[in-house]
Amino acid sequence: MNLRLEQKMSWVYLLNLTLFLAPLLFVPYQLWHYAAMVVTLIGFLYCYFVAYRQNSSQMLWPVLGMVVIATLIAPINPGAISMFSFAGFFIGFACTLRLYLLLMAALCAILITLDVTGLILWPYFLLLGLPVVIGVSLLGRVEQQRQLRLRQEQQSHDEIKQLGAMVERERIGRDLHDILGHTLSSIILKADLAEKLLARQQAEAAQQQLSELSAIARDALSQVRQSVSGFKHKGLTAEVAKLLSRLRDAGFQVELSGEIPQLDSRRETTVILALTELVTNIMRHSQGDSCQLGFMQNNHRLQLQLTDNGKAAAFKEGNGLTGLRQRLAAIGAQLTLEHGSGFRAIIDLPLQEPL
Protein backbone atom coordinates (compact mmCIF):
# COMPACT_ATOMS: atom_id res chain seq x y z
CA MET A 1 0.00 0.00 0.00
CA ASN A 2 1.54 3.27 -1.17
CA LEU A 3 -0.97 6.13 -1.00
CA ARG A 4 -0.72 9.92 -0.95
CA LEU A 5 -3.02 12.57 0.47
CA GLU A 6 -4.30 15.37 -1.75
CA GLN A 7 -1.85 18.25 -1.35
CA LYS A 8 -4.44 20.96 -1.98
CA MET A 9 -6.27 20.03 1.25
CA SER A 10 -3.27 20.23 3.56
CA TRP A 11 -3.92 23.84 4.64
CA VAL A 12 -7.67 23.32 4.98
CA TYR A 13 -7.23 20.55 7.54
CA LEU A 14 -5.18 22.88 9.75
CA LEU A 15 -8.42 24.64 10.71
CA ASN A 16 -8.76 21.84 13.26
CA LEU A 17 -5.95 23.49 15.24
CA THR A 18 -8.50 26.00 16.55
CA LEU A 19 -8.93 23.66 19.54
CA PHE A 20 -5.24 24.21 20.33
CA LEU A 21 -5.48 27.97 19.89
CA ALA A 22 -8.77 28.45 21.79
CA PRO A 23 -7.24 28.28 25.34
CA LEU A 24 -5.03 31.25 24.48
CA LEU A 25 -8.16 33.40 24.60
CA PHE A 26 -9.30 32.28 28.05
CA VAL A 27 -6.28 31.11 30.06
CA PRO A 28 -3.74 33.62 31.50
CA TYR A 29 -0.52 31.87 30.49
CA GLN A 30 2.93 32.93 31.55
CA LEU A 31 5.41 34.18 28.99
CA TRP A 32 7.41 30.96 28.88
CA HIS A 33 4.15 29.07 28.27
CA TYR A 34 3.55 31.14 25.15
CA ALA A 35 7.13 30.55 24.01
CA ALA A 36 6.78 26.80 24.54
CA MET A 37 3.50 26.69 22.62
CA VAL A 38 4.98 28.65 19.71
CA VAL A 39 7.97 26.30 19.53
CA THR A 40 5.80 23.19 19.73
CA LEU A 41 3.37 24.59 17.17
CA ILE A 42 6.23 25.20 14.73
CA GLY A 43 7.56 21.68 15.38
CA PHE A 44 4.11 20.21 14.92
CA LEU A 45 3.56 22.03 11.62
CA TYR A 46 6.91 20.79 10.35
CA CYS A 47 6.04 17.17 11.20
CA TYR A 48 2.54 17.66 9.78
CA PHE A 49 3.70 18.86 6.37
CA VAL A 50 6.47 16.26 6.20
CA ALA A 51 3.93 13.52 6.91
CA TYR A 52 1.43 15.01 4.45
CA ARG A 53 3.93 15.00 1.61
CA GLN A 54 5.13 11.43 2.24
CA ASN A 55 3.78 8.21 0.85
CA SER A 56 1.70 6.29 3.35
CA SER A 57 4.58 3.86 3.87
CA GLN A 58 6.82 6.72 5.09
CA MET A 59 4.38 8.66 7.28
CA LEU A 60 4.93 7.02 10.66
CA TRP A 61 8.18 8.75 11.63
CA PRO A 62 6.82 12.32 11.33
CA VAL A 63 3.62 11.09 13.01
CA LEU A 64 5.73 9.87 15.93
CA GLY A 65 7.19 13.39 16.15
CA MET A 66 3.67 14.84 16.26
CA VAL A 67 2.73 12.51 19.12
CA VAL A 68 5.85 13.43 21.12
CA ILE A 69 5.21 17.16 20.63
CA ALA A 70 1.54 16.81 21.59
CA THR A 71 2.48 14.81 24.72
CA LEU A 72 4.98 17.45 25.85
CA ILE A 73 2.65 20.44 25.36
CA ALA A 74 -0.58 18.82 26.62
CA PRO A 75 0.10 19.60 30.34
CA ILE A 76 0.35 23.28 29.40
CA ASN A 77 -2.36 23.42 26.74
CA PRO A 78 -4.97 20.61 26.80
CA GLY A 79 -5.99 21.79 23.32
CA ALA A 80 -3.15 19.50 22.21
CA ILE A 81 -6.03 17.03 21.71
CA SER A 82 -6.19 18.47 18.19
CA MET A 83 -2.55 17.46 17.62
CA PHE A 84 -3.30 13.94 18.83
CA SER A 85 -6.26 13.85 16.44
CA PHE A 86 -4.00 14.72 13.49
CA ALA A 87 -1.72 11.86 14.50
CA GLY A 88 -4.77 9.57 14.68
CA PHE A 89 -5.79 10.58 11.15
CA PHE A 90 -2.38 9.80 9.71
CA ILE A 91 -2.28 6.47 11.56
CA GLY A 92 -5.71 5.55 10.19
CA PHE A 93 -4.67 6.52 6.68
CA ALA A 94 -1.20 4.98 6.57
CA CYS A 95 -1.53 1.68 8.43
CA THR A 96 -2.92 -1.75 7.81
CA LEU A 97 -5.82 -2.69 10.05
CA ARG A 98 -3.70 -4.67 12.48
CA LEU A 99 -1.06 -1.95 12.85
CA TYR A 100 -3.79 0.69 13.05
CA LEU A 101 -5.42 -1.05 16.04
CA LEU A 102 -2.05 -1.46 17.74
CA LEU A 103 -0.95 2.16 17.32
CA MET A 104 -4.37 3.58 18.22
CA ALA A 105 -4.32 1.51 21.41
CA ALA A 106 -0.92 3.05 22.22
CA LEU A 107 -2.19 6.56 21.42
CA CYS A 108 -5.26 6.12 23.64
CA ALA A 109 -2.97 4.79 26.39
CA ILE A 110 -0.94 8.01 26.21
CA LEU A 111 -4.10 10.10 26.61
CA ILE A 112 -5.26 8.02 29.56
CA THR A 113 -1.82 8.23 31.20
CA LEU A 114 -1.74 12.02 30.84
CA ASP A 115 -5.15 12.25 32.46
CA VAL A 116 -4.77 9.80 35.35
CA THR A 117 -1.35 11.11 36.39
CA GLY A 118 -2.83 14.53 37.01
CA LEU A 119 -0.65 16.27 34.45
CA ILE A 120 -3.72 17.63 32.69
CA LEU A 121 -5.70 20.12 34.77
CA TRP A 122 -8.68 20.28 32.42
CA PRO A 123 -11.35 17.78 33.64
CA TYR A 124 -12.78 17.16 30.14
CA PHE A 125 -9.47 16.24 28.53
CA LEU A 126 -10.09 12.48 28.39
CA LEU A 127 -13.85 12.76 27.95
CA LEU A 128 -13.38 14.90 24.85
CA GLY A 129 -9.98 13.59 23.73
CA LEU A 130 -10.73 9.88 23.27
CA PRO A 131 -13.85 10.32 21.05
CA VAL A 132 -12.16 13.04 18.97
CA VAL A 133 -8.91 11.12 18.39
CA ILE A 134 -10.66 7.83 17.64
CA GLY A 135 -13.27 9.52 15.40
CA VAL A 136 -10.66 11.39 13.37
CA SER A 137 -8.58 8.22 13.03
CA LEU A 138 -11.64 6.52 11.52
CA LEU A 139 -11.82 9.36 8.99
CA GLY A 140 -8.26 8.41 8.06
CA ARG A 141 -9.40 4.82 7.51
CA VAL A 142 -12.25 6.07 5.32
CA GLU A 143 -9.84 8.15 3.24
CA GLN A 144 -7.53 5.17 2.89
CA GLN A 145 -10.35 2.97 1.61
CA ARG A 146 -11.53 5.70 -0.75
CA GLN A 147 -8.11 6.01 -2.31
CA LEU A 148 -7.72 2.24 -2.55
CA ARG A 149 -11.07 2.06 -4.33
CA LEU A 150 -10.07 4.85 -6.71
CA ARG A 151 -6.79 3.09 -7.43
CA GLN A 152 -8.61 -0.17 -8.15
CA GLU A 153 -11.03 1.65 -10.45
CA GLN A 154 -8.13 3.28 -12.26
CA GLN A 155 -6.37 -0.06 -12.60
CA SER A 156 -9.58 -1.62 -13.93
CA HIS A 157 -9.94 1.28 -16.36
CA ASP A 158 -6.33 0.85 -17.52
CA GLU A 159 -6.83 -2.90 -17.89
CA ILE A 160 -9.97 -2.31 -19.95
CA LYS A 161 -8.07 0.13 -22.17
CA GLN A 162 -5.25 -2.36 -22.62
CA LEU A 163 -7.72 -5.14 -23.37
CA GLY A 164 -9.52 -2.90 -25.84
CA ALA A 165 -6.23 -2.06 -27.55
CA MET A 166 -5.35 -5.75 -27.73
CA VAL A 167 -8.75 -6.65 -29.19
CA GLU A 168 -8.40 -3.83 -31.72
CA ARG A 169 -4.96 -5.05 -32.75
CA GLU A 170 -6.35 -8.56 -33.20
CA ARG A 171 -9.25 -7.16 -35.25
CA ILE A 172 -6.91 -5.21 -37.51
CA GLY A 173 -4.69 -8.28 -37.87
CA ARG A 174 -7.65 -10.45 -38.88
CA ASP A 175 -8.91 -7.74 -41.26
CA LEU A 176 -5.53 -7.43 -42.94
CA HIS A 177 -5.24 -11.19 -43.25
CA ASP A 178 -8.71 -11.53 -44.71
CA ILE A 179 -8.46 -8.53 -47.03
CA LEU A 180 -4.89 -8.94 -48.24
CA GLY A 181 -5.00 -12.72 -48.41
CA HIS A 182 -7.92 -12.64 -50.80
CA THR A 183 -6.70 -9.61 -52.75
CA LEU A 184 -3.14 -10.86 -53.26
CA SER A 185 -4.50 -14.15 -54.54
CA SER A 186 -6.56 -12.23 -57.11
CA ILE A 187 -3.58 -10.06 -58.06
CA ILE A 188 -1.39 -13.13 -58.60
CA LEU A 189 -4.11 -14.73 -60.70
CA LYS A 190 -4.54 -11.60 -62.85
CA ALA A 191 -0.79 -11.15 -63.24
CA ASP A 192 -0.31 -14.78 -64.30
CA LEU A 193 -3.17 -14.52 -66.76
CA ALA A 194 -1.80 -11.28 -68.23
CA GLU A 195 1.61 -12.89 -68.61
CA LYS A 196 0.15 -15.85 -70.50
CA LEU A 197 -1.89 -13.52 -72.76
CA LEU A 198 1.19 -11.47 -73.58
CA ALA A 199 3.06 -14.66 -74.40
CA ARG A 200 0.30 -15.42 -76.92
CA GLN A 201 0.55 -11.91 -78.40
CA GLN A 202 -2.95 -11.03 -77.07
CA ALA A 203 -2.01 -7.55 -75.93
CA GLU A 204 -5.56 -6.18 -75.75
CA ALA A 205 -6.78 -8.99 -73.50
CA ALA A 206 -3.64 -8.68 -71.38
CA GLN A 207 -4.28 -4.93 -71.03
CA GLN A 208 -7.77 -5.72 -69.76
CA GLN A 209 -6.39 -8.07 -67.12
CA LEU A 210 -3.79 -5.49 -66.04
CA SER A 211 -6.48 -2.83 -65.72
CA GLU A 212 -8.52 -5.16 -63.51
CA LEU A 213 -5.37 -5.95 -61.51
CA SER A 214 -4.81 -2.23 -60.92
CA ALA A 215 -8.42 -1.80 -59.76
CA ILE A 216 -8.07 -4.73 -57.35
CA ALA A 217 -4.84 -3.26 -55.92
CA ARG A 218 -6.45 0.16 -55.45
CA ASP A 219 -9.44 -1.40 -53.74
CA ALA A 220 -7.12 -3.36 -51.44
CA LEU A 221 -5.24 -0.19 -50.52
CA SER A 222 -8.50 1.53 -49.67
CA GLN A 223 -9.64 -1.37 -47.49
CA VAL A 224 -6.31 -1.50 -45.63
CA ARG A 225 -6.62 2.19 -44.83
CA GLN A 226 -10.17 1.69 -43.63
CA SER A 227 -9.28 -1.31 -41.44
CA VAL A 228 -7.68 0.91 -38.79
CA SER A 229 -11.06 2.54 -38.11
CA GLY A 230 -13.32 -0.40 -38.85
CA PHE A 231 -13.83 -2.40 -42.04
CA LYS A 232 -16.16 -0.65 -44.48
CA HIS A 233 -17.91 -2.25 -47.43
CA LYS A 234 -20.64 -1.66 -49.99
CA GLY A 235 -23.10 -4.16 -48.52
CA LEU A 236 -23.45 -7.92 -48.58
CA THR A 237 -25.08 -8.07 -52.01
CA ALA A 238 -22.34 -6.00 -53.65
CA GLU A 239 -19.55 -7.91 -51.92
CA VAL A 240 -21.05 -11.29 -52.87
CA ALA A 241 -21.19 -10.16 -56.49
CA LYS A 242 -17.54 -9.11 -56.31
CA LEU A 243 -16.48 -12.45 -54.81
CA LEU A 244 -18.38 -14.41 -57.45
CA SER A 245 -16.74 -12.32 -60.17
CA ARG A 246 -13.33 -13.17 -58.73
CA LEU A 247 -14.18 -16.86 -58.78
CA ARG A 248 -15.27 -16.63 -62.43
CA ASP A 249 -12.01 -14.87 -63.26
CA ALA A 250 -10.21 -17.80 -61.63
CA GLY A 251 -11.94 -20.20 -64.01
CA PHE A 252 -14.83 -21.40 -61.83
CA GLN A 253 -18.40 -21.85 -62.95
CA VAL A 254 -20.35 -20.10 -60.22
CA GLU A 255 -23.94 -20.64 -59.08
CA LEU A 256 -25.76 -18.45 -56.56
CA SER A 257 -28.97 -19.67 -54.89
CA GLY A 258 -31.30 -18.24 -52.30
CA GLU A 259 -32.07 -14.67 -51.32
CA ILE A 260 -29.25 -12.56 -49.88
CA PRO A 261 -30.59 -11.33 -46.51
CA GLN A 262 -30.48 -7.90 -44.88
CA LEU A 263 -28.26 -8.03 -41.78
CA ASP A 264 -27.16 -5.47 -39.24
CA SER A 265 -23.80 -3.82 -39.87
CA ARG A 266 -21.80 -5.93 -37.42
CA ARG A 267 -22.99 -9.31 -38.67
CA GLU A 268 -22.94 -8.22 -42.31
CA THR A 269 -19.27 -7.24 -41.96
CA THR A 270 -18.46 -10.57 -40.28
CA VAL A 271 -20.25 -12.57 -43.00
CA ILE A 272 -18.45 -10.63 -45.75
CA LEU A 273 -15.05 -11.26 -44.20
CA ALA A 274 -15.92 -14.91 -43.65
CA LEU A 275 -16.94 -15.39 -47.28
CA THR A 276 -13.82 -13.52 -48.41
CA GLU A 277 -11.58 -15.90 -46.42
CA LEU A 278 -13.40 -18.99 -47.69
CA VAL A 279 -13.37 -17.85 -51.33
CA THR A 280 -9.66 -17.07 -51.02
CA ASN A 281 -9.01 -20.61 -49.77
CA ILE A 282 -10.95 -22.07 -52.70
CA MET A 283 -9.00 -19.96 -55.20
CA ARG A 284 -5.71 -21.03 -53.60
CA HIS A 285 -6.26 -24.69 -52.87
CA SER A 286 -9.19 -26.05 -54.88
CA GLN A 287 -8.45 -28.00 -58.01
CA GLY A 288 -12.07 -27.87 -59.13
CA ASP A 289 -13.89 -25.76 -61.68
CA SER A 290 -17.34 -25.32 -60.12
CA CYS A 291 -18.50 -23.44 -57.04
CA GLN A 292 -21.92 -22.89 -55.45
CA LEU A 293 -22.99 -20.30 -52.86
CA GLY A 294 -26.37 -20.65 -51.20
CA PHE A 295 -28.39 -18.64 -48.67
CA MET A 296 -31.15 -20.41 -46.73
CA GLN A 297 -33.36 -18.99 -43.95
CA ASN A 298 -35.26 -21.16 -41.49
CA ASN A 299 -36.69 -20.53 -38.00
CA HIS A 300 -34.99 -17.20 -37.46
CA ARG A 301 -31.63 -18.57 -38.54
CA LEU A 302 -29.55 -18.07 -41.65
CA GLN A 303 -27.38 -20.76 -43.21
CA LEU A 304 -24.75 -20.07 -45.84
CA GLN A 305 -23.20 -22.90 -47.83
CA LEU A 306 -20.14 -22.53 -50.03
CA THR A 307 -19.12 -25.67 -51.95
CA ASP A 308 -16.80 -26.64 -54.75
CA ASN A 309 -16.06 -29.81 -56.71
CA GLY A 310 -12.33 -29.83 -56.09
CA LYS A 311 -10.24 -32.66 -54.74
CA ALA A 312 -11.12 -32.63 -51.07
CA ALA A 313 -8.14 -33.26 -48.85
CA ALA A 314 -7.94 -32.81 -45.11
CA PHE A 315 -5.90 -29.77 -44.17
CA LYS A 316 -4.68 -28.07 -41.01
CA GLU A 317 -6.51 -24.87 -40.14
CA GLY A 318 -4.25 -21.84 -40.12
CA ASN A 319 -4.56 -18.37 -38.65
CA GLY A 320 -7.15 -17.34 -41.22
CA LEU A 321 -9.70 -20.03 -40.36
CA THR A 322 -8.94 -19.74 -36.64
CA GLY A 323 -9.60 -16.01 -36.77
CA LEU A 324 -12.71 -16.68 -38.85
CA ARG A 325 -14.13 -19.00 -36.19
CA GLN A 326 -13.48 -16.34 -33.55
CA ARG A 327 -15.24 -13.68 -35.61
CA LEU A 328 -18.28 -15.90 -36.15
CA ALA A 329 -18.43 -16.99 -32.51
CA ALA A 330 -18.62 -13.33 -31.50
CA ILE A 331 -21.96 -12.98 -33.32
CA GLY A 332 -23.31 -16.35 -32.19
CA ALA A 333 -22.49 -18.13 -35.46
CA GLN A 334 -20.85 -21.48 -36.16
CA LEU A 335 -18.58 -22.64 -38.94
CA THR A 336 -18.61 -26.25 -40.16
CA LEU A 337 -16.09 -27.53 -42.69
CA GLU A 338 -16.75 -30.77 -44.56
CA HIS A 339 -14.52 -32.80 -46.87
CA GLY A 340 -16.19 -35.33 -49.11
CA SER A 341 -16.92 -35.04 -52.79
CA GLY A 342 -15.39 -31.60 -52.79
CA PHE A 343 -15.16 -28.98 -50.10
CA ARG A 344 -18.12 -27.53 -48.18
CA ALA A 345 -18.22 -24.68 -45.68
CA ILE A 346 -21.42 -24.06 -43.71
CA ILE A 347 -22.02 -20.90 -41.69
CA ASP A 348 -25.01 -20.97 -39.37
CA LEU A 349 -26.01 -17.79 -37.54
CA PRO A 350 -29.10 -16.26 -35.90
CA LEU A 351 -30.96 -13.60 -37.84
CA GLN A 352 -31.15 -11.51 -34.68
CA GLU A 353 -28.29 -10.36 -32.47
CA PRO A 354 -27.88 -12.88 -29.59
CA LEU A 355 -28.66 -11.51 -26.12
pLDDT in tens, 288-313: 888 999 999 887 889 999 999 887 66
pLDDT of residue 197: 80
What is the SS3 assignment for 26?
coil
- Mind listing the pLDDT tens digit for each residue in 54-99? 888 888 999 999 999 999 999 999 999 999 999 999 999 999 999 9
Give yes or no for residue 31 having a pLDDT over 90.
Answer: yes
Calpha distance 46→66 (Å, rounded): 9
- Per DSSP, 23 falls in state G
Cα–Cα distance for residue pair 306/348, rounded to 1 Å: 12
- Does the predicted TM-score (pTM) go above 0.85? no
Q: What are the structural domains of the chain?
A: 7-160 (no CATH), 233-355 (3.30.565.10)
Task: Give kind and range of the element (H or E) at residue 123.
Answer: none
Find residue 295's DSSP bridge partners: 304
CB 120 within 8 A of CB 110: no
Of 44-48, 156-160, 208-212, 250-254, the range with the lowest mean pLDDT is 156-160
Whether the pLDDT of residue 33 is over 80: the answer is yes
Look at residues 242, 300, 302, 225 and name the one whose alpha carbon lies nearest to residue 271.
Answer: 302
